[in-house]
Every structure is written in structure tokens, then in C-alpha cells.
Amino acid sequence: DAAPDIPIIANLGASHIIGASGVENASKAISMVEADALAVHLNLLQEIIQPEGSSSFKGLLDALTNLVDQLDVPVIVKEIGVGISKETAALLEATGIAGIDVAGLGGTNWAIIEGYRSQEGSLMRSLARTFETWGIPTPASIIEAVSATEKAFIIGSGGVRSGLDASKCIILGAKYSGAALPFLRAYYDGGKPAVLRLLNKFVIEMKTTLALSGASNLAQFRRRKRYLLKGRLLDWVLSRGLMKRVPQNTENF
């Protein structure tokens, strides 16, 4: 009621939409918060490490297709800290989902969090440490997902710490950008006023990025597609054959 124009997204793990009760579970999650959309998170690594986890995702693509057909709200698929490859993005889009949140490596990683829940010296704590660098970094994952999709929108998240980071997600092809840790820290340190200050800071940083890029709005900013790929990200794009989807009129960004 306080923010009627802000969409509310229900959240459900992939294992909970598989099987006969999948649509029912999704419908309950949506009705609980009167959601405008449902996000299904792909968290296989987390489920493997989680003591009470379910690591069977067999039938997931069929379950997603069924959800899209049965639900009255859009379905979004998101990762939990390891990113989305172009191959996975293509399979997901074929189910009819509305969008993909890449949640790439570099931000909050729920597999690592599950490791901290396990006892020191346990197999699961060790497993989490072994795989703490497993995944696709957020910038690479955005380029991967954008290269493999035509209709599904892409959300860039995972390590976004400023409005400049959010702008970089958008220039790489994401329609939206998301962040969690900075806002959780702000709330922990200063409550609601601190969150509002941080939101304002993000907005100013994004507006500044647009101004410095010669764009008056986001639509114009997206069309410009001027940036420089270098180092490990450039190596990634080249090795994965993604350069044909990256604009060639690049400038330093």
C-alpha cells in the first residue's frame, strides 16, 4: 500500500516448482505477498551444500514451461551468485519466461553462506570453500545472457555497489540492475534514512554516468553502446565467441 507502483516479486527455489505440487507452491508464494511476478532461483550449488537441501533439478525446464502457462503473473529466473551462461539462458528463454537475473559471481553467494552454516571442519564447509570462486563474473554473464536471448529481459546483479556499477550493467545489455549488500549494510548502520540516502546516491551516480557519456536518458545511453573491454573480460568474450554480439564502436567506459 505504501508503494503501489513498485512491483512485488515472490521468490521460490527451483526444487519447489518441480513435481505435481509445483504450480500450487508457486501460487501460494504469489498470494502470500500479492506479487506481481514470481522469481524462481536456480541454486543447485547451494542445495548441494545446504544440510536440508534438495539437489535434484530433473524436470526443471518442463516445470518452468508449465508455470508460464498456468500462472497469471510473469516468471523470472535468477541465479544466486554464480551467473548464467549463454547456453542456460537460451534453454530458459525457450520455456517462455519473462526475464533472467544473472546474479553473477562477485556479489552475494548463497553457496558460501550455506558453508558458513556448516560446522568448522565439516565436509560441507570444505566444499563451500572449494567452490567459492565457481561461476561466471557478472559482466561476462550479462554479455552471455544477452547474446543468447531475444525476448527475455536481462537483470544485471552480483557485486553491484554503486550507480556506476548499475550503469555498466545496463550498457552491457541488461534492462535492469539489482543490488543487495550495499542496502543491507546501509539499513544495518542507519536504518531507513540511510537506505534512502544510498538510493539517492545511486540515482545521482547513474545520472552523472549518463551525463559524462553524452546521454540525456537511459534509452539514449543504451543506444550509444560505447565502452572498452579489456583484460580478463575481453579474454572471456573472445574465448566464448561473443565478440559478434559486442558493438565495435567502443570507447573507454
Residue showing cell 501460487: 27
Q: Which three cell numbers stand for residue 166?
A: 548499475
Asked if residue 139 has pLDDT above 90, the reply is: yes
Name, in order, each residue with C-beta under 8 angstroms of 45's C-beta and a sequence gap of 6 or more: 80, 82, 111, 131, 134
Q: What is the pLDDT of residues 174-225, one digit of tens each?
A: 999 999 999 999 999 999 999 999 999 999 999 999 999 999 999 999 988 7
Classified as helix, coil or strand, 171 is helix
User: In the chain, what are the domain boundaries?
Assistant: 9-245
Q: Could you tell me if 74 and 99 are in contact, meaning their C-beta atoms sit under 8 angstroms apart?
A: yes
The pLDDT value given to residue 18: 94
Quickly list H helices, the chain: 22-33, 44-49, 60-70, 86-93, 110-117, 123-130, 138-148, 163-171, 181-212, 218-224, 231-239
Provide the pLDDT confidence category of residue 249 given band limits of 50, 70 and 90.
very low
Rounded CA-CA distance 156/145 in Å is 10
The pLDDT value given to residue 251: 44
Q: Global pTM?
A: 0.92
Asked if residue 237 has pLDDT above 80, the reply is: yes
DSSP code at position 122: S
CATH number for the domain running over 9-245: 3.20.20.70
Strand partners, 12: 40
Exposed/middle/buried for 216, CB within 10 Å: 0-12, 13-18, 19+? exposed
| Cα maximum dimension of the chain | 54
Name, in order, each residue with C-beta under 8 angstroms of 228's C-beta and a sequence gap of 6 or more: 250, 251, 252, 253
CA-wise closest residue to 14 among 48, 34, 251: 48
Average pLDDT of the segment spanning 145-157: 97
The pLDDT value given to residue 53: 74
Phi, psi of 156 (to 5 degrees): -95, 115
Q: What is the pLDDT of residues 15-70, one digit of tens each?
A: 999 999 999 999 999 999 999 999 999 988 888 888 777 777 889 999 999 999 99
